[in-house]
């Protein structure tokens, strides 16, 4: 990958951060995967333009079959787009029963939540109900101190806020601690209060640092503007119009701990080597940072609709494909790689846009080329706390794009 594969994942201070006509036409293209292992021939290039080669099953199969790097109980991959389709799974959905992974099994997709939040925010911008240049304190004067007055809504959405690190979150550095705290209940206000005691780390807009708290605040702004819970706003504006029947926000249902219907189980390996099922989880500490429950099919449907302009007009959609100015760099000195709601990486010369996400026992991603020649949605179930998901992501991305340079085939 010409852009480091670690860029397809992001580390939060406290945990790994963890993809009508639309529902018929574009959505069907996203969900209509071929039978497992099958490869669909690509359509003829429009106007003689170059197209990606069709997916090669051998490379994709090898990518998901390696459940040792990182150690995982199962994996699922969908490949779509004009270059062709492929679908495959490996391992199991439930280590306790050996049940195989199903086509529409739900997962906890973590920070993929942010793509939905950003889309809803930009819809409100288009309607004139929200201004990207408006100071966040204008909407949340009771939550942010005056010294944060320069921070704008746009800077939340593209992670250039400079907000302080969290103080006061529980230590969840061991699997036993995760189990001990997995039913803790947090309110959005309590989450915000963990960052408001310090000073800004840098002047807003001058650097980029990926932070989940940005989207907690963005969702609170959405709630103040609309007068409704942000999960309900997204449900009515995105989930229902696109018929994303496998996607939900636990906070919109009383912070439901369970996953209803067929789902992949998230498990963690304890210090004694035993495997603990942590599927049931109170994700209130994540909230709009990463609480979404979804499926790979729904993620492909969402990204197809988004990139096709069904959710946003071009002037707003363009923001999701625009990085900060070149002088704005990540705090480690590397180039900025987060736009409004999305992140980008270039693999074998192919530029992908999308989002990764993690929750304990889950790692998920959804990416596509801007022209949708290639769409990818994958999820896997790492069992080791803090495991780096990059090796799996790298194998998948290399296999899906490698034919351009002859790699991975």
Q: pLDDT tens digits for 352-399?
A: 999 999 999 999 999 999 999 999 999 999 999 999 999 999 999 999
In a domain, 381, yes or no: yes
Q: What pLDDT is stored for residue 43 in this prediction?
A: 38
* Range of the structural domain that residue 116 is part of: 5-404
Write out residues in the chain with pLDDT < 50, as ranges. 1-6, 9-50, 404-409
My answer on whether omega of the bond before 189 falls inside 30° of 0, hence cis, is no
d(CA 7, CA 338): 10
User: Residue 188 is encoded by which pair of tokens?
Assistant: 């959005």
In a domain, 23, yes or no: yes
CATH number of the domain within which 214 lies = 3.40.710.10
Q: What pLDDT is stored for residue 7 in this prediction?
A: 52
In a domain, 409, yes or no: no
In a domain, 171, yes or no: yes
User: Residue 155 is encoded by which pair of tokens?
Assistant: 């800077």
Total tally of structural domains belonging to the chain: 1
Q: What pLDDT is stored for residue 406 in this prediction?
A: 41
Other residues' Cβ atoms within 10 Å of the Cβ of residue 354: 24
In a domain, 123, yes or no: yes
Q: What pLDDT is stored for residue 361 in this prediction?
A: 98
Q: Say which residues have a Cβ less than 8 Å from residue 254's Cβ, sequence separation at least 6.
A: none
pTM for this prediction: 0.89
Q: What pLDDT is stored for residue 47 in this prediction?
A: 32
């Amino acid at each position: 990958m010409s852009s480091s594969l670690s860029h397809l994942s992001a580390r939060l201070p406290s945990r790994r951060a963890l993809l009508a006509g639309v529902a018929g036409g574009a959505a069907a293209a996203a969900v209509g995967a071929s039978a497992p292992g099958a490869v669909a021939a690509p359509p003829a290039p429009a106007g003689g333009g170059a197209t990606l080669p069709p997916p090669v099953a051998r490379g994709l199969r090898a990518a998901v079959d390696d459940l040792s790097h990182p150690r995982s109980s199962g994996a699922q991959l969908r490949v779509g787009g004009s270059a062709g389709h492929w679908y495959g799974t490996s391992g199991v959905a439930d280590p306790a029963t050996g049940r195989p992974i199903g086509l529409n099994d739900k997962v906890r997709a973590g920070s993929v939540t942010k793509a939905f939040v950003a889309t809803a925010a930009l819809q409100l911008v288009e309607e004139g109900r929200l201004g990207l240049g408006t100071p966040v304190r204008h909407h949340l004067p009771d939550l942010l101190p005056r010294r944060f007055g320069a921070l704008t809504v746009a800077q939340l959405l593209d992670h250039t806020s400079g907000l302080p690190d969290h103080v006061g979150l529980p230590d969840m550095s061991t699997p036993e601690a995760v189990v001990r705290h997995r039913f803790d209940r947090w309110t959005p206000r309590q989450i915000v209060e963990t960052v408001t005691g310090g000073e800004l780390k840098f002047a807003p807009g001058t650097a980029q640092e990926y932070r989940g708290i940005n989207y907690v605040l963005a969702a609170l702004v959405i709630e103040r503007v609309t007068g409704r819970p942000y999960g309900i706003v997204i449900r009515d504006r995105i989930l229902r119009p696109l018929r994303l029947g496998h996607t939900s926000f636990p906070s919109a249902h009383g912070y439901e701990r369970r996953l209803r219907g067929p789902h992949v189980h998230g498990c963690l390996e304890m210090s004694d080597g035993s495997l603990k099922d942590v599927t049931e989880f109170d994700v209130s500490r994540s909230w709009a940072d990463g609480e979404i429950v979804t499926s790979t099919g729904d993620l492909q449907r969402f990204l197809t609709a988004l990139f096709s302009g069904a959710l946003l007009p071009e002037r707003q959609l363009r923001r999701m494909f625009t990085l900060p100015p070149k002088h704005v760099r990540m705090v480690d000195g590397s180039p900025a790689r987060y736009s409004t709601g999305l992140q980008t990486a270039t693999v074998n010369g192919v530029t992908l846009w999308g989002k990764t996400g993690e929750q304990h026992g889950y790692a998920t991603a959804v990416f596509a080329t801007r022209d949708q020649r290639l769409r990818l949605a994958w999820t896997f179930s790492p069992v080791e706390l803090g495991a780096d998901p990059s090796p799996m992501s790298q194998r998948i991305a290399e296999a899906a794009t490698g034919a351009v340079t002859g790699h991975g085939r």
